[in-house]
Chain A
Amino acid sequence: MTTLTMTRLDPQSRAARRGMSDISIRNLFIIPTILFLIIFNIFPLLYSLYYSFTDFRASTNAPANWVGLANYRELLNDPFIWTNFTITAKYVIVSVAGQVVVGFGVAMLLNRDIPFKGLITTLLLLPMMLSMAVVGLFWKLLYDPSFGIINYVLGLGRFEWLSDPDMALYAVAITDIWMWSPFVMLLSLAGLSAVPKHLYEAAAIDRAGPLYTFFRITLPLVAPILMIAIIFRTMEAFKTFDIAYIMTSQPTTEMIAIRLYKMAFQEWQTGMSCAFAYIVLIMVVAITNIYVKYLNKVKER
């Protein structure tokens, strides 16, 4: 990212004498936020880092015993946990890819001369305004083989969306795509409307095909904001809990956040769940880091 730096004020000027210095304004604007986030993020993180080496249980008042790396060792040797990771990875890929395809596709359509564009765009945002738990609950009903609407409308008879172990994860992903494609759509739309018209005109004069125009003009210019959408959606998909937990309880849909919830709040294995959380954190940070590096590269182009 380019850094815009202001020319320094002449120290003798009236304004400089009257107001605060640039450095103190910068500090005043940035440091409270950073401090605030440190207190609310670093502190709990240190707390849980300590607990991850203990057998602490938050349901009792018994003191925590230091167990060293035992929690990590046990977790990394647990076959169920590895399944949780694989499931989560599959879900993140399907769900985020679906959102990008649908969201970006709809944005491409809306970027044309469509009547009531503003109204339609706003209406399409409705799904993402609902709470995840409610969405899960209603979609479970919509998917129901006996009295759900989806099978009726699609003429699928008694198709078992959520009870079929192989289908359930995709069914949850479809719901997630329904809910969050609008988010990707909105950001893409913003990106698309900012692409200068003259570039398209130039391409038309050069008799460039639609594919060429799309891959050489549209996509590169929208890519930065699309990447931001993808980063945020990936992080959220990684954390998926409410929707999946409410809709299905198949072993094939037990994602990390669900396993973590069970460990932390049903079993009350606080120490163990903190260790689990750390393993997750390292993975998410690594993935996001790759994304952000790529984002910066895209922006430089």
Chain B
Amino acid sequence: MRRRMIGIAGGLALVLASSTSVLAQELTIFWAEWDPANYLQELVNEYEAETGVQVTVETTPWQDFQTKAFTEFNARGSAYDMVVGDSQWLGAASEAGHYVDLTDFFNEHNLGEVMAPATVKYYAEYPSESGKFWAIPAEGDAVGWSYRKDWFEDPKEMEAFKAKYGYDLAPPKDWKELRDIAEFFHRPDENRYGIAIYTDNSYDGLVMGVENAIFSFGGELGDYANYKVDGIINSDQNVKALELYRELYTYTPPGWAKSFFVENNQAITENLAAMSMNYFAFFPALVNEASNPNAKVTGFFPNPAGPGGDQFAALGGQGISVISYSENKEEAMKFLEWFIKDETQKRWAELGGYTASAAVLGSDEFQNATPYNKAFYETMFRVKDFWATPEYAELLIQMNQRVYPYITAGEGSAKEALDALAGDWKETFEKYGR
């Protein structure tokens, strides 16, 4: 028994010794466990071939990503040199000193122009409008829609739709059409439903979904520069947006009260819904015939416009930051210089990454590479995001608490929910002296 313990301890000491004797030629990037991380691994393999520096992309399951990243930051651990972190983390991570200030690097390489403006604003800058940058936009992402082309293009359906609504059945251009089509295809007795939307309130799923409606209706969550919320989050257009989202919920498949990216992709593969909201990053699985039996008949469209013509989508995606506690910061900066080169960004897009480089996004080559890249390109220039303040998680949970019962159970009214939310947020900002 004791011998075994000594054996383990000895083995551990060896492991520790070998991992702490830092080889300058090694870099570790931390990210969540999903396909883009695998594409990134392929990309950095080419960096190793060029420079001899071995870069490893280490991953952890999505549901643990935030918890693990912050426990690691807080432990001032040097296990990771860089992290591809969520946009909402910027406030918390920069104020706590976990991220290296990349402002000089950013300005030196003129990244404000090289990268798509929205990605700079939301993945890199904190506080809002301050000109301070903490990350390099790495994986662009936003919410878009997939739909069943075969259902939409069925002549009988087209005729019936035209007769009922007076215009042609096609991917919706605005939220009213989205609603009509959802209603049209919602046929519970045929085991077919109108639409799949985000409703999971355990993290940011539901909020992302609601944001799509709010931003397109011309609303905002608040004034990010001076923390004003009353009259903004509970504005008339936000109330209307929320009411429409609630109505869409009635056209979802049964049991749709905890759905996020997995369930929404399943809505397409399992023949449940005509249209489904999802992050662009999860669309590759829908064009792959091995994972989606309907791959050939799945189409994509960007988030439709609101009644006033505004058209914005909720932002996903991440920027890459250097961790303050890394022992290889210089090496990491060299890597970033390579990463932002045009050729690298082009290669990144080829491998399956969603580049944020404006030039690559604008190229025909990129836009024709997949059935959804064009929609992605269009979306990335009109995205908005949630609060990025250090207390964003509290704001998120408060929004879930107020909005979820209204959306899924029809409790109270949209106005009541948003008024109460405005109160919660105001109180929270007061608590932190914003």
Contact at B272–A265, with CB atoms within 8 Å? no
Question: Is there an interface contact between B391 and A144, defined as CB atoms closer than 8 Å?
Answer: no
Q: Which residues of B contact A145 (CB under 8 A)?
A: 253-255
Q: Does chain B have a CB within 8 A of A60?
A: yes
Q: Is A218 an interface residue (CB 8 A)?
A: no
Contacts of A266 in B (CB 8 A): 66-67, 203, 393, 396-397
Q: How far is the CA of A268 from the CA of B188 in the complex (A)?
A: 42
B401 and A163 contact, CB distance less than 8 A: no
Contact of B390 among A60, A163, A165 (CB under 8 A): A60
Q: Is A62 in contact with chain B by the CB < 8 A criterion?
A: yes
Residues of B within 8 A of A111 (CB): none
The interface bits of chain B over 93-110 (1 if a CB of A lies within 8 angstroms of the residue's CB, else 0) are: 001110000000000000
Which residue of B is nearest A161, CB measured? B255
> Which of A62, A80, A161, A251 gathers most chain B CB within 10 Å?
A251
Which residue of B97, B191, B202, B404 has the most chain A CB atoms within 10 A of its CB atom?
A: B202
Which residues of chain B are near A143, meaning CB under 8 Å?
255
A160-B255, A248-B258 known; A267 vs B397 contact (CB < 8 Å): yes
B375 within 8 A of A: no
User: Do the beta carbons of B92 and A268 come within 8 Å of each other?
Assistant: yes
Q: Mark A51-65, 1 if CB is under 8 A from B, else 0.
A: 000000011111000
A260-274 toward B: CB 8 Å interface, digit per residue (1/0)? 001001111100000
Number of A-B contacts (CB under 8 A): 85
B30 on interface, CB distance cutoff 8 Å: no
Interface pair B254/A158, CB less than 8 Å apart:
yes
| Also in contact, A162 and B255, with CB within 8 A (given A146-B272, A245-B202, A267-B394) | yes
- Given the known interface contacts A147-B270, A163-B254, the answer about A60 and B393 at a Cβ–Cβ threshold of 8 Å is no
Q: Is the CB of B391 within 8 A of A80?
A: no
Give bound CA distance, A58 to B272, whole Å: 43
Given the known interface contacts A61-B74, A251-B404, the answer about A163 and B258 at a Cβ–Cβ threshold of 8 Å is yes
Q: Is B283 interfacial (CB 8 A cutoff)?
A: no
A163 and B74: CB pair below 8 A?
A: no
Chain A residues with Cβ below 8 Å from B397 are 262, 266-267
Residue of chain B at shortest CB distance from A166: B409
Q: What CA separation (Å) do A266 and B399 show in the bound complex?
A: 14
- Counting CB contacts under 8 A, is B326 at the interface? no
Q: Indicate if the CB atoms of A59 and B74 lie closer than 8 Å.
A: yes
Interface membership of chain A positions 1-33, coded 1 if the CB is closer than 8 angstroms to chain B and 0 otherwise: 000000000000000000000000000000000
Q: Which residues of B contact A248 (CB under 8 A)?
A: 257-258
- Find chain B residues with CB under 8 A from A144 CB: 255
Report the Cα distance A269→B431, complex, angstroms: 13
**At the interface, yes or no: A249 with Cβ under 8 Å from chain B?**
yes
- Nearest A residue (CB) for B252: A163
Q: Is A213 positioned at the interface, with any CB of B under 8 Å from its CB?
A: no
B416 to chain A, nearest CB (A): 15
* CB <8 Å contact, A163 and B408: yes
A270 closest partner in B (C-beta): B74
A44, chain B: closest CB distance, angstroms? 15
Is A288 located at the chain interface by the 8 A CB criterion?
Answer: no
Complex contact A146–B270 (CB within 8 A): yes
- Is A250 interfacial (CB-CB < 8 Å)? yes
What chain A residues lie within 8 Å of B96 (beta carbons)?
59-62
**CB-based contact B270/A249 at 8 Å:** no
A247 cross-chain contacts in B, Cβ below 8 A: 258
Q: Closest CB-CB distance, A190 to chain B, in whole Å? A: 28
Q: How far is the CA of A227 from the CA of B130 in the complex (A)?
A: 62
- Verify B191–A146 contact, CB threshold 8 A: yes
For B270, list chain A residues within 8 Å (CB).
146-147
Complex Cα spacing A61 to B201, Å: 29
CB of B70 within 8 A of CB of A268, answer yes
A133 to B66, CA, bound (A): 18
Residues of A contacting B76 in the complex (Cβ-Cβ under 8 angstroms)? 61
B260: nearest residue on chain A (CB-CB)?
A249
Q: State the CA gap A80–B420 with chains docked (Å).
A: 13
Most buried by B among A59, A144, A160: A59
Q: Which residues of the other chain, A, contact B391 by a CB distance below 8 angstroms? A: 267
The chain B residue with its CB closest to the CB of A140 is B258
* Cα–Cα, bound, A146→B254 (Å): 7
Shortest B204–chain A CB gap in Å is: 10
The residues of B that contact A147 with a CB separation of less than 8 Å are 270
Complex Cα spacing A245 to B203, Å: 11
User: Closest CB-CB distance, A200 to chain B, in whole Å?
Assistant: 45
Residues on A with beta carbons closer than 8 Å to the beta carbon of B409 = 165
Contacts of B394 in A (CB 8 A): 267, 269
B125 contacts the other chain (CB 8 A): no
Residue B200 at the chain A interface, CB threshold 8 Å: yes
Minimal beta-carbon separation of B169 from chain A (angstroms): 24
CA distance A162 to B97 in the complex (A): 41
Task: Output the least CB separation between B355 and chain A (Å).
Answer: 30
Encoded as 1 (CB less than 8 Å from any B CB) or 0, chain A from 155 to 175 comes to: 000101111010000000000
Most A CB contacts (10 A, CB to CB) among B74, B191, B200 go to B74
Return chain A residues, CB-CB under 8 Å to B405. 251
At the interface, yes or no: B256 with Cβ under 8 Å from chain A?
yes
With both beta carbons as reference points, the residue of chain B lying nearest to A80 in the complex is identified as B401
Sample (5) of A-B pairs whose CB atoms are under 8 Å apart? A59-B73, A249-B201, A265-B67, A266-B393, A268-B92
7 more A-B residue pairs beyond the given contacts A61-B96, A163-B256, with a C-beta to C-beta distance below 8 A: A58-B70, A146-B191, A160-B254, A160-B255, A249-B201, A251-B401, A266-B203
Chain A residues at the B interface, C-beta cutoff of 8 Å = 58-62, 80, 143-147, 158, 160-163, 165, 245, 247-251, 262, 265-269
Q: 7 tightest A-B contacts by CB? A: A163-B257, A60-B96, A145-B254, A145-B255, A158-B254, A267-B393, A249-B202
